Structures are given as structure tokens and as C-alpha cells.
Structure 1
Amino acid sequence: MAIDVTVLRVFTDREGRHGNPLGVVDSSAVSPADRQRIATQLGYSETIFVTVPEEGAHTAHARIHTPTTELPFAGHPTVGASWWLKDRGTPIKTLQVPAGVVQVGYTDELTSVSARAEWAPDFSFSELASVDELAAADPDDYTDDVEHYLWTWLDKDAGRIRSRMFAPHLGIREDEATGAAAVRITEHLSSDLTIVQGAGSVIETTWSPDGWVRVAGRVVDDGLRQID
């Protein structure tokens, strides 16, 4: 029987452009043993499998897979799943993933999650001198088993940066928008940020000295896809 996959784009700009594609699947429709196969077949940087909360509940559970492995936490899937639950009439306050309990918020057109910085991988950060140098970077030069995050300042006073992320060992040659990396770079710089990543996706972050980082963005629904 075909499985319905809602395809979202997470962290779009204000006009609904760009954003990182995400597959969202109702966990009740899929055996846990089939999750990795489905994520691999879909080919998105992440696919999230969500257990829809019962009526009146405000917590959901989810598991996140890249094309090659399961992740304990990731930003764009948790933001996307939280938006998806609200869109279907079941907004939540918390989302339980293997790393811990993610706090969820809805403000105007933004959906946000708050996560601990240590839940995210240890990205290899490279600060580059210019946007031109960043644009010239070739993902094929970053083939080791590390998540590489390249960035440069657009406006330091305003906390605006431009970035790219490569993780071929996870099946992600280049990620369009990386929420977990946004958590880590926000902690690294100890500053609220507006991050423009990939082709033009936008991630808003808020830093807290107690180790929590809020990651917020816009989401667009690109419709249903079915997979066997």
C-alpha cells in the first residue's frame, strides 16, 4: 500500500522561495523497520516520522532519518513537523525526539523550536573572508566524515551571516538549510543571528547563555508524494 508523504520546504524566505525540502510521514502508516528505506528512497536531506498526538494532548514524538542514518535531533525536520501538526489542527507545545524534549512555538508566520546546543553535531566551522569565496567552495572538496559548515559575515552589527553546509557521509552533498548547524553557530558566536544559507533560505536564531537556542523559520507545503 502506498504511503503518503507530505513534502514541505522549511526555512523559506519571506516570499516563500528556497527552503530545505522535508518529507513528513505519519508514523502510524509505517513500520519502524521501513523508516530508513523510505528516507533513502525519498532522498531528502531528512525525512521525519511523526506520531500524531491524541486529541487534547500537546506533545508529539518523532524520529528523523537522513538518506543513510537516523539522527537524534535536527532543526529543519523539527520545525517542519511542528508546522505540519499545527496545519492539520493539532498544534503542539513540545516534540520528543531521541536527543530530548524540543520546545515548540508559533508566532505569526514563524514556527520555532528550542534545543540544547549539545544535541547538534560538532560541525567543522570555516569562516571565510567573503561571499565570493563562500560561493566558490566546491562540496566535492569536503568528502571526509565530518559535517562542514562554511560561513561569512554579511552584516556583523546586525548579526547576519551567509553559509553553506556539506555532509556527504550522511548522504547530503550540500544542505539547503541546516537547523542543527544554526544552533551550533549561534552558540559559537553567542549571538542572535539571521542566517542566509544555500540558495537563499533564511533561519532566525535566538541565543540564550543557559545553552538553549531558538531556531525559527517559515514553512511552505509543496503537497503530497506517495511512496511504496
Structure 2
Amino acid sequence: MNARVTDYDVLRVFCAPNGGYGNELGVVRDGSVLPERDARQEFAAKLGFSETVFVDDPERGVIDIYTPTLRLPFAGHPCVGTAWLLDVPELVTAAGVVGARLDGEFSWIEARPEWAPPRTLRQYPTAAEVDALPVPPQGEWVYAWAWEDEAAGRVRARAFPGRDDGIDEDEATGAAALLLTDRLGRALNIRQGKGSQLLTAPQPEGWVEVGGRVVLERRPER
């Protein structure tokens, strides 16, 4: 494996107002150091983040997304984080072109619900019940949620990927938030995981915006 591949940024995406929490993301800015899918998959598994992004064209925003075990045509927190890092108006994913914008402290993407991988959206009566959930058995990707304040659109959520890759719970998942927003048809303020915050809003013609704060955890050593 090319030694240059150690050059990758680590971001935290969908951070809390104080900059804490968020879901870690690895971004290899020069995807040409690992052009083959098998090598990218191996590297994503080595890093162990819920997702790793390889940037194939930083000016056009062409990206390739991997979990530790599979390639994803689209994923939410990788797109939000990479759009912030590259400061581009759009990202080109295998699923389609994702709109992107920065608005103050928030990085936003606009995507289509049908691009998101399948998730089971499971509602619970109270946020306390979501807090108390154990990690479910593997095999089903579950987004557990409950209203904290329905009138205000505030949601408590936890995400369980159900995969055998060492990630029992995702701290923040934009694709699942996108699906929930599409189902409910309203803007949401989601508190997920230990303290991450995701904001969403339905858009015309079936699009959905997902946004959050992004923090640069570390840059590559030079």
C-alpha cells in the first residue's frame, strides 16, 4: 500500500453547539494514491471509521465513500463533512449530484431520500426509551427515534448499523435523518448518539437538506 495514503484528514461531523461529539470521518484528499476499489476498501477497514471518503476531483467535488466493509453510493455525514472541507457548491457521488452550501456555523447538503441505503425507522413512545435501548442483534439497520418535543420538531435518535464491522452504534447519520425527514414531511432538530446535532428540512420536488457543524480533528502530518 502506498505510504502517501497516510495523508488523510479526520473530521467530526454533526457536532454539538459546544463543538463536542459528532461522528468521525476520514477523508483522503488525494484519491489517486489508492485508485482501486479493493485498496480503498482495505484502507477504510484499517481506519475503522463509520465512513471514509476518497476525493477523486477536489474542484468538481467527485468523491467515493466506504464503510469498513462496503462501498456506499451516498451517505450523509461523509457528504456534509467533505463539502465543508472542500468548500464546493456540489459533490458528485455514485448516487448523483449532491448540492452543498455553508451557512454560518452549519454545513448543508441537499440530497434525495431514494439515494439513502435502506434503514428501519423505528419510533418509540419516549426519548427515555430510546436512551435505554441495548444494541440490537446484527442484520437489521435500525434508526430508533422518539419525539422530545413534537411541536418544535425536536427528535431523540440512535442508530444501529447491524453490521459485523465493529461499529455497534453510529454517533450521527445524515442518511437516516434524511429518510426520517422525508417520512414526516417536516423540518427536524435531531439529537443523536451521545450528543450530536443534525438539522434537516424538506425541499421542493422531493429533495431534503441535512446540515450540521463540522470540526477538523486533525490534519495529516507533513
Q: Note whether the superposition's TM-score is higher than 0.5.
A: yes
Q: Partner of 2:19 in structure 1?
A: 16
Aligned to 1:30: 34
Partner of 1:200: 195
- The CA deviation at 1:148 is 0.4
Structure 2 unaligned regions, length at least 5: none
* Partner SS, residue 175 of structure 1: coil
On the 8 A contact 1:66/1:170 being kept in 2, the answer is: no
- Per-residue CA deviations over 1:90-121 (Å, capped at 9, x if unaligned) read xx111000000000111111111000010012
Which residue of 2 is the match for residue 106 of structure 1? 102
Paired letter, 1:100 = G
Equivalent residue for 1:156, pick from 150, 154, 171 = 150
Query: What CA distance in whole angstroms lies between the structure 1 residues aligned with 2:178 and 2:114?
Result: 9
Is 2:99 the counterpart of 1:96?
no
Which residue of 1 is the match for residue 46 of structure 2?
41
Q: Which residue of 2 aligns with 1:89?
A: none
Range moving further from structure 2, 76-85 or 21-30: 21-30
Identity over aligned pairs, percent: 43
Contact residue 142 and residue 162 of structure 2 kept, 8 A: no
1: CA distance between counterparts of 2:43 and 2:168?
19
Structure 1's unaligned 5+ residue stretches are 87-91
**Displacement, 1:225?**
5.4
Query: How far apart are residue 170 of structure 1 and its match?
Result: 6.2
Shift of 1:209: 5.0
| Alignment correspondent of 1:65 | 66
Instruction: Kindly state the Cα deviation for residue 35 of structure 1 after the two structures are TM-superposed.
Output: 0.5
> Equivalences for 1:139-218 in 2 at 5 Å?
139=135, 141-144=136-139, 146-169=140-163, 171=165, 172-208=167-203, 210-218=205-213
Structure 1 counterpart of 2:158, which letter? R
**Cα pair 1:142 1:148 within 8 Å, conserved:** no
Rounded Cα–Cα distance in structure 1 between residues aligned with 2:9 and 2:44 = 13
Separation in 1 of the partners of 2:147 and 2:123? 8
Normalising by structure 1, report the TM-score: 0.90
TM normalised by structure 2 equals: 0.92
SS in 2 for 1:158: coil
Quote the RMSD (CA, aligned, Å): 1.4
Report if aligned partners of 2:15, 2:196 keep a CA contact under 8 Å in 1: yes
Deviations 1:20-60, CA, capped at 9 Å, x for gaps: 00000021232324110110000000001112434xxxx21
The 5 A counterparts of 1:44-55 are 44-54=49-59
Instruction: Please point out which of 103, 120, 125 is paired with 1:124.
Output: 120
The DSSP-based 3-state class of the residue aligned with 1:133 is helix
Gap change, CA 1:170 and 1:80, over 3 Å in 2: farther
Distance 2:217 2:100 in 1: 22
Higher strand share: 1
